[in-house]
Amino acid sequence: MELLAARGITKYFRDTLTLADDRVSLSLAEGETRAVVGENGAGKSTLARVIAGLVVQDSGAVFVRGRRVRAGSVREAEAAGIGFVPQASLLAGGLTVAENIVLGREPRLLGLFVSRRKAYIETAMLIERFGFRIDPDALVSSLSSAERRQADIARALARGGDILVLDEPTSILSESESERLFELLKRLAKAGKAILLITHRLSEVLKEADSITVLRDGAVVADMLTKGADEAQLSSLMARRKAEGRRSGSGPAASGPIGAGHNDFALEIRDLRLAAGARPLSLALSSGEVLAVTALAGNGLGRLENFASGMEIPREGEVLAGGVNLASIPRGKLRSEILCYIPSDREGRGLCLPAAMRDNLLILRRREFLERDWIGRKRRDSAAREAALRFGLAADPRQSAASLSGGNRQRLLLARELDRPRAVLVLAEPLQGLDLASQAETIALMRDLAARGSAVLLLTSNIEEVLSAADRVMALYRGEAAFEGPNEGASTGSKLLAAMTGSAVGSVA
């Protein structure tokens, strides 16, 4: 029996000029596991968020058991039975698993007092029934990423019920952890739950899903059963018409970003010299793509950061955003509308330590908020508090940035820069100072922004970060590209390492 149906979902993001979903339809039956696959930026995450009520679609509707679910209401979606597991965990680190699971609908004694015992029992029963391996009394901040994922799913089950929508659930898990997660999902499917699995890992799809919906550039290009499908067929379906097609602008309006930057790469670097005597560097990023560049200190990563962020105007070569030279864009406009930039020099460039947290947070939205220091102080404080809380930073917005710990300073930066998708993201060492769980969440968020149309240039000295986040990778050595290629996991890691230490110069793939 058909449990969930999405019909003609269409969503256009004004801020990145991206048509994320174009008349997408799919259906899901009891006990069915359906995978939604597609490249980055194909519209998978947006579709999931529409179904979960997090994003209001421009047209189309979601039906559960034939009844239409009101658009843009998480509460209604949950009431209809849809539980959503986002890419970045929504759990509160300071609470226990049980407290998180009952959050907002706590069992009460005499309708008045929150009953921890009832919450514990309720959670324990849920955990028991589906064979989760987590302790309801454990603090979420003490969980590993795999355990956290389980808790996420338990939360979604407790809140929704019959339908689980999982957005890239394995992106931060190891292979064995992923396998265990899929065992759990199989048990849930056997119990009659319908599962919608958003992923770009085709091996998972072929092994775990019953049916597959393939998205490309926001539109459904195939709807099939897993039986008989193979990886090559799926990849060719997913593969976007290559850059030539997009650059000529001959594709339909639905393909990729629309508007000013349509004919160009989101970020393009031409003939930049990063070190004296080095060969000039060129690279190009399409929207939805994550390119990670790594290097050891002193090999040009810092210069690249300065050029890509427009902090330094190159004498040779040029940096283009959406086809426009960065130097010709007024800096205020660049930073508030086009470029999101997390500098590696957090204290010197990223934050104004003596200034209040709220000024650090709202400076890019200063047209809206910095107008009045006296008037509207409350509105600003609450906006700042809200923005900070989304990144797990619970602090008084009036306190100075200097009073925050290193990790919280980083959260403050992330909260300011990653609050909404922009055309270009230049992120230099974005994970410095963060604990492991926050690192994983930040990477998931980065991927999510890419999925919503941002082009991400990740600059980091940490190969692990590169491998966990990037589509394409590049290593610099003495200011030159020593390796460039797609991210193929561990093997790419060793190639990067060889290239950045200078033992494989010249092997540009």
Residues that bind other proteins (CB under 8 A): 309, 311, 330-336, 341, 343, 345, 348-355, 359, 363-364, 366-367, 370-375, 402-403, 405-408, 433
* Closest CB 332 distance from other proteins, rounded Å: 4
**What secondary structure letter does DSSP report for 400?**
B
**Of all helices (H) and strands (E), which one includes residue 235?**
helix 231-238
CB-CB neighbours of 284 under 10 Å: 16
Closest to other proteins by CB, 245 or 332: 332
- List the strands of the sheet with 424-428, edge to edge: 339-342, 424-428, 455-460, 290-294, 472-477, 480-486
Q: Closest approach of Cβ 422 to other proteins, in Å?
A: 12
Q: Which two tokens stand for residue 84?
A: 């959503």
Residue nearer to other proteins on the CB measure, 244 or 373: 373
Run of H or E including 481: strand 480-486
Residues 6+ apart with CB under 8 A from 95: 103, 139, 140
Can you tell me the distance from the alpha carbon of 196 to that of 310, in angstroms, rounded to the nearest whole number? 41
Minimum CB separation from other proteins for residue 439, in Å?
Answer: 14
Rounded to an integer, what distance in angstroms lies between the CA atom of residue 21 and that of residue 319?
A: 30
Nearer to other proteins by Cβ, of 208 and 359: the residue is: 359
Nearer to other proteins among residue 37 and residue 338 (C-beta): 338
The pair of three-digit structure tokens given for residue 320, joined into one six-digit string: 């283009």
Closest CB to other proteins among residues 370, 508: 370
Nearer to other proteins, 57 or 432 (CB): 432
Provide, rounded to whole angstroms, the least separation between the CB of residue 310 and other proteins.
9
- Best CA proximity match to 114, nearest among 125, 103, 124, 127: 103
Task: Give the C-alpha separation, 4 to 194, whole Å.
Answer: 8
Nearer to other proteins, 234 or 415 (CB): 415
Pairing of β 211-216 and β 219-225: antiparallel
* Min separation Cβ 308 and other proteins, Å: 13
Show the 3-state SS of 188-208.
HHHCCCEEEEEECCHHHHHHH
Q: How far is the CB of 349 from other proteins (least distance, A)?
A: 5
CB of 398 within 8 A of CB of 358? yes
Question: In angstroms, rounded to a whole number, what is the distance separating the alpha carbons of residues 471 and 283?
Answer: 14
Provide the minimum distance between the beta carbon of 249 and other proteins in the complex, in angstroms, as a whole number.
30
Which C-beta is closer to other proteins: that of 68 or that of 377?
Answer: 377
CA contacts within 13 A on the Cβ side of 84? 24
> Shortest approach of other proteins to residue 11 CB, angstroms?
29
